[in-house]
Amino acid sequence: MSAPPDSAAFLAELRAALSAEAVLSGAEDLRPYECDGLSVLRELPLCVVLPTDREGVQAVLHLCQRYGVAVVPRGAGTGLSGGARPIRGAVLLSLARLRDILAIDLENRTARVQPGVRNLAISEAARPLGLYYAPDPSSQIACSIGGNVAENSGGVHCLKYGLTVHNILALEVLTAAGEALQIGSQAPDSPGYDLLALMTGSEGLLGVVTECTVRLLPVPEHTLVLLAAFSSVVAAAESVGAIIAAGIIPAGLEMMDQLAIEAAEDFVHAGYPRDAAAILLCELDGSVVELKERRQEVEVILQRHGASAIRMAEDAATRLLLWKGRKAAFPAVGRLAPDYYCMDGTIPRQRLAEVLERIAAWSVEYGLRVANVFHAGDGNLHPLILYDANAEGQLHAAEEFGRRILELCVAVGGSVTGEHGVGVEKLDSMCVQFNAAELAQLHRIKHAFDPEDRLNPGKAVPSLHRCAELGAMHVHHGRLPFPELERF
Amino acid sequence: MDQSQTLQAIVQEAHARSRPLAIRGGGSKAFYGRQTPECDRLDLSGHQGIVDYAPNELFITLRAGTPLQVLEAQLSEAGQILPFEPPHFGPAATIGGTLACGFSGPRRPYAGSARDTVLGMRILNGQGEILRFGGQVMKNVAGYDVSRLMVGALGTLGVLLEVSLKVLPRPDHAVTLVQRVDPATAVQRMNLWAGQPLPLSATAYDGEHLYIRLSGTGSAVRAAQTRLGGERLPDAEAAAFWVALREQRHVFFQGDAPLWRLAVAPATPPLPLAGQTLVEWGGGQRWLRGVRDATALRQLVAEHGGHATLFRGGDRHDEVFHPLTPPLLAVQQRLKAAFDPRAVLNPGHLYVVL
């Protein structure tokens, strides 16, 4: 994508429409925006615009349409797949200054917020009313609700409380042409097609969110966390299946393997048992009487599956400490090596053991260590591949290793991304998960909203051409992934 | 039995000749949507079978023509349920038809809707291509969420072939309480309680009595029961009440007068409407009978952030769903064309132009 023929005039019009300080175009001003949370992919945009209201966003989109300039929307920039990575010659549209909580409706239990409002800020504002916003991605202190909608963010409580798509009621969206769409409402369901579902997780390709109404839930009466140590990851995974089979849906179920445990323990001293092959964190919520029963049931199941040590945290401080180790797992692992590459595949839980076995084998093959953090309740696996970008060939090896993990996730019936999105990072892996007809259908959906392909172009859905070349390359190397596995 | 290939051939043929198809599962919901001219039928009722069911993974994958009865019986054996408690509206009801209509039952405001339950789908688009989106896992953000888009689209975007759904354990206990209150108090209470950590699983108000169902562990249900008060319905009577309500066999639904479904922000006070209103879903879904001035009714409901559907009966040649704003309608027309360029799948069933 190249800059418009007359970029000086374009920038002048942007400044006139917003304000001089709301349009950044000097290289040093653009630098902070050169990447999102996936920092290996960097690019400078034509300019960064920082509107403060919907009218400003609309003015930017109108000008971009007139000049034929592409637009990359950006929330807090915490995304992990390059979804908000700038495109050369395109405008980077930051929604960070649209940061007001517009209304909290206690009776209907909803909050109407601007896209730049931080995820955690919604829960903080609702807390005095006994309510909160359920999806809680690990980046919740920083990430914005607009970005959550774009990525359909999850968090550690998805199994019981769902993803972003299950917790929002309405969106105000501007199309690439700057046209406003009111999607959904406080009423259940909505007439016509479910654009709310379609828009959620569309990675900024279908529209720019300028307002969002979220559903608020009552804060549970009581919460407790159980920590169990296991001598094998298989035993830990089986205990998860047994808990669910007993009819219990925990609020959170997280697993970490030995390397992740050690890293977290060194970093935050949460009191995790260092000698365990795996630990399981199980959060239960509900009424006090209910939890008394549930806790016993879960403890029995854990013991039956060989849990060697079980600790329980009921008070907020201990609970937070146990969670802190998990929530800090990424930065903790980050201390073990100069760089790490965070993967985000999903798999049916019953295939966990074989997936981990293969990852361990590849770890030896590539000479790169891997720590595994697993949202055990919902099958979302985050292998963290440790490498050193300054060591010859290691980045390339880490990327290839990662790609093979994602291909394996697809082969066992899962997905190349559970919550981080495709962005630019997983475009090649998308070619493995979807065939040409499916990708063509996704492109037709895009064009129904954005016929000129100007909103975040080239992200999220790979071109058929790209996949064809990749397919040829795979055959060239004589290595089609997992020929022995039945394909879905 | 898997009839995907046969169904695909029919849709390909229809596409080639630009001949519309009327998609039909068990025919239990033929009353719903706009009435359209007679055309060739695409019969899904033989495309049956449970393909994969892993109770411990909380998902089930099945062919769209599978009867709801068969599905629910299978789940019941493992002590599980469909969270959205769908209405059947007849013994032949299929899961495909239920999802195409987007119908949910009494548990919906507390456990999610039909669309919330969907994990993935295999569909036939209007060109007769078999496409798969989503999967069997709870979290999957690869590609646009096409499978949830299909829910409520009345088959106008694609023919549902196979669906994967999230299932949940059946709660151990359920208790239904009844309280005699006025309409305004009923709506207030439903919304007050929904903001508190209570094991609510259904609420309804018939104009005189507020019905509250609590589901969960025995201790949680007992604690909530003590707190909320009211007369406890005997279990058999309670179960029959919720089924009758869900299946629209409750006395309110009897007779041939047109049935309107009003969806509003749940805390909306009772609306100034002549005749009785039956309230469900914590106040979010309200039913109304009789021939009404559609424009006036829709305007009133829209003022409360909602929409009105002519659910059964009345003039079904005109629009039965709430009119869309011009920008939304335009986008939806382009979406329709993106899936079904020659408009062969249930054309005009949802809106005249979709």
**Model confidence band, residue A84 (pLDDT cutoffs 50, 70, 90):** very high
B200 shares its domain with B215: yes
User: Is residue A484 pLDDT above 80, yes or no?
Assistant: no
B88 shares its domain with B182: no
A258-276 mean pLDDT: 93
Of the candidates B257, B264, B295, the residue with the CA atom closest to the CA atom of residue B282: B264
CATH top class, domain A7-94 = alpha beta
Determine the distance from the C-alpha atom of residue A114 to the mean position of all C-alpha atoms in its chain, rounded to a whole number.
20
pLDDT tens-digit readout, A145-178: 999 999 999 988 999 999 999 999 999 999 999 9
Report the alpha-carbon distance of residue A234 to residue B149 in Å, rounded: 36
Indicate whether this complex's ipTM tops 0.85. Answer: yes
pLDDT tens-digit readout, B140-188: 999 999 999 999 999 999 999 999 999 999 999 999 999 999 999 999 9
Buried residues in B140-151 as b, exposed as e (16+ CB within 10 A): bbbbbbbbbbbb
DSSP 8-state code for residue A128: G
A358-387 mean pLDDT: 94
Report the alpha-carbon distance of residue A174 to residue A178 in Å, rounded: 5
pLDDT at site A279: 96
User: Is residue A330 pLDDT above 90, yes or no?
Assistant: no
What CATH topology corresponds to A222-331? Alpha-Beta Plaits (3.30.70)
Q: Is residue B287 one of the residues assigned to a domain?
A: yes
B179 shares its domain with B51: no
pLDDT at site B1: 87
Q: Is residue B275 one of the residues assigned to a domain?
A: yes
User: Is residue B250 pLDDT above 80, yes or no?
Assistant: yes
pLDDT at site A478: 41
CATH of the domain at B35: 3.30.465.10
B139 shares its domain with B279: no
A409-420 mean pLDDT: 93
Nearest to A441 among B131, B324, B329 (CB): B131
B185 shares its domain with B231: yes
User: Is residue B23 pLDDT above 70, yes or no?
Assistant: yes
Structural domain tally of chain B? 2
Whose tokens are 């994967």? That residue is: B164
B164 shares its domain with B201: no
A66-85 mean pLDDT: 96
Give the number of other Cβ atoms within 10 Å of residue A179's Cβ: 17
- Interchain proximity B141–A292, CB inside 8 Å: no
CATH top class, domain A337-476 = alpha beta
Domain ranges, ordered by start, for chain A: 7-94, 101-218, 222-331, 337-476
Whose tokens are 């789908």? That residue is: B121
Enter the tokens of residue A192: 């016509």
Report the alpha-carbon distance of residue A412 to residue B52 in Å, rounded: 14
Cβ pair A122, A111 in contact under 8 A: yes
The number of C-alpha atoms within 13 Å of B324 and in the hemisphere containing its C-beta is 23
pLDDT at site A475: 46
The better pLDDT of the pair B100, A413 is held by: B100
Report the alpha-carbon distance of residue A142 to residue B2 in Å, rounded: 48
Structural domain including B81 reads: 4-169+331-339
B299 shares its domain with B280: yes
Is there a common fold for A222-331 and A337-476?
yes
**Model confidence band, residue A474 (pLDDT cutoffs 50, 70, 90):** low
- Interchain proximity A245–B141, CB inside 8 Å: no
User: Is residue A476 pLDDT above 50, yes or no?
Assistant: no
Cβ pair A167, A386 in contact under 8 A: no
pLDDT at site A473: 58
Number of H helices and E strands in chain A, helices first, is 18, 19
User: Is residue A391 pLDDT above 80, yes or no?
Assistant: yes
Look at A21-25, A445-449, A473-477 and tell me which has the smallest mean pLDDT: A473-477
Residue B290 exposed, middle or buried by CB count within 10 Å (0-12, 13-18, 19+) = middle
Contacts of B331 in chain A (CB under 8 A): 175, 181, 195, 448-449
What values do phi and psi take at A2, rounded to 5? -105, 160
B163 shares its domain with B99: yes
Q: Identify the H or E element spanning A312.
A: strand A309-313
Q: Is residue B319 one of the residues assigned to a domain?
A: no
**Model confidence band, residue A328 (pLDDT cutoffs 50, 70, 90):** confident
Instruction: For strands B21-24 and B40-43, give the pairing.
Output: parallel
**Model confidence band, residue A2 (pLDDT cutoffs 50, 70, 90):** low
Q: Identify the H or E element spanning A340.
A: strand A339-342
B19 shares its domain with B157: yes
DSSP 8-state code for residue A238: H
- Interchain proximity A249–B135, CB inside 8 Å: no
B211 shares its domain with B127: no
- Interchain proximity A434–B142, CB inside 8 Å: yes
Residue A149 exposed, middle or buried by CB count within 10 Å (0-12, 13-18, 19+) = buried
CA distances from A486 to A410, A433, A482, B40, B347 (A): 11, 14, 9, 36, 37
B51 shares its domain with B186: no
Q: What is the 3-state secondary structure (H, E, C) of chain B?
A: CCCHHHHHHHHHHHHHHCCCEEEECCCCCCCCCCCCCCCEEEECCCCCCEEEEEHHHCEEEEECCCEHHHHHHHHHHCCEECCCCCCCCCCCCEHHHHHHHCCCCCCHHHHCCHHHHEEEEEEECCCCCEEEEECCCCCCCCCCCHHHHHCCCCCCCCEEEEEEEECEECCCEEEEEEEECCHHHHHHHHHHHHCCCCCEEEEEECCCEEEEEEEECHHHHHHHHHHHCCEECCHHHHHHHHHHHHCCCCHHHCCCCCEEEEECCCCCCCCCCCCCEEEEHHHCEEEEECCCCHHHHHHHHHHCCCEEEEEECCCCCCCCCCCCCHHHHHHHHHHHHHHCCCCCECCCCCCCCC
User: Is residue A5 pLDDT above 90, yes or no?
Assistant: no
- Interchain proximity B115–A197, CB inside 8 Å: yes
- For chain A, the average pLDDT equals 93
Is 3.40.50.300 the CATH classification of the domain at A101-218?
no
B residues 126-145 lying closer than 8 A (beta carbon) to A:
129-133, 135-145
pLDDT tens-digit readout, B67-122: 999 999 999 999 999 999 999 999 999 999 999 999 999 999 999 999 999 999 99
- Interchain proximity A438–B133, CB inside 8 Å: yes
- Interchain proximity A294–B217, CB inside 8 Å: yes
pLDDT at site A470: 85
Q: Is residue B347 one of the residues assigned to a domain?
A: no
Nearest to B142 among A106, A245, A416 (CB): A416
Evaluate if pTM is beyond 0.90.
Answer: yes
To the nearest whole angstrom, how far is the Cα of A17 from the nearest Cα of chain B? 24
**Model confidence band, residue A1 (pLDDT cutoffs 50, 70, 90):** low
Whose tokens are 């919720």? That residue is: B242
Q: Identify the H or E element spanning A257.
A: strand A252-257
Contacts of A152 in chain B (CB under 8 A): 141, 145
B16 shares its domain with B148: yes
